[in-house]
Structures are given as C-alpha cells and as structure tokens.
Amino acid sequence: MELVILRLLFMLGLVLLFFSLRKPPLKEWLLCYLLAAYFGTFLGDLAAKHELISYPVKLFTQFQSSVLYEYLLLPLLSIYFYRNTYRSSMGAVIGRAAVSSSVLTIIEVFLEHQTNYVHYITWEWYYSLISLFLFFVFVWLMMELLNYLAGEKQEVE
C-alpha cells in the first residue's frame, strides 16, 4: 500500500510540476526548481549516508535517500514558496518560511510515526524544522542574488 501512495505522489508531483512551469517567468521557476533539487539532493544524501535518517520504503530502491522527495517534491514546494514570496520583504519571507517548514515538519513527524516512509535514526523533528526553514530562506536568497546579478526581475502574471 505504501508503494502505491508513493507512485500516486510521484504522478501528482509530475502533474503539479507541469502546471507550475506553465506560467511566466519560466526561467525563474525552472532555476528555482533546479537550485532546490541540487541542494536538496546534496543535503538529503548527506543525512542518509551519515545514517541520521533512513527511508525503509522507497520508490527508487537503488538510492539511499528519498529521490522522490529530493528531486521532485521539495523542489516543487520550493517553486511554490518562491512564487508566493516573489515580491515579499525579508520579514514576510521569514514568516512564510516558518509556516511552511512547520507544516512540512508536522507531516514528516506524522509519516515517521505512522508509516515506513521515513525513520529517524539520530534525527530529531526540530532538525527538520530548522533545516527546512533555512533551506527555503536559502533558496529565496539565492534566487534574489541571481536576479540582482542578472540585473532583472520579471513580472509575475
């Protein structure tokens, strides 16, 4: 049953990715997705290899970490986070990052207690809260820096 849910999440993630990349500015959303996937994969792989966290049930069993989360779901959530904070002040970004990371941490703790999707070895829930908060803020700052260096920021429709 858990693999069925992972497959449904995979299909849902692909559909949401398709719809999230349909609106301009495509360059912004694609860059945000790739940036989040790169750093998410690096950090997730680091946590799995150091045996802080494990994923007993995986969609792609060749990998130690959760490829579905790191390559699809977290970058997709980062696009939506960046889209919602595109023109926001730093205070608003911090507030939304706190709310977003809190919701994701609650979901992760529920999954850790009720399913075999994720298992904390030496990981604690507040590590997820802090790391997700910092991750969202970091991706937002990187996108702002890249826009500043490029000298442009397109209008969102």
State mean pLDDT over 39-59.
93
For 121-138, how does the pLDDT look when each residue is reduced to its tens digit (9 = 90+)?
A: 999 999 999 999 999 999
> What is the pLDDT at residue 156?
56
Amino acid identity of residue 91, one-letter, is G
What is the number of other CB atoms lying within 10 angstroms of the CB of residue 15?
10
> What global pTM score does this model have?
0.91
DSSP 8-class letter at 118:
-
pLDDT of 155 over the 70 cut: no
Compute the distance between CA of residue 145 and CA of residue 137 in angstroms, rounded to an integer.
Answer: 12
Q: Any idea what the Cα angle at residue 21 is, between residues 17 and 24, rounded to 5°?
A: 160
% of residues, the chain, pLDDT over 70 = 96
| CA distances to 4, 59, 107 from 1, in Å | 5, 12, 18
| CA distances to 46, 70, 99, 108 from 67, in Å | 13, 5, 24, 15
Compute the distance between CA of residue 63 and CA of residue 41 in angstroms, rounded to an integer.
Answer: 11
For 7-45, how does the pLDDT look when each residue is reduced to its tens digit (9 = 90+)?
A: 999 999 999 999 988 888 898 999 999 999 999 999 999
| Per-residue exposure over 128-142, b if at least 16 CB sit within 10 Å of its own CB, e if not | bbebbbebbbbbbeb
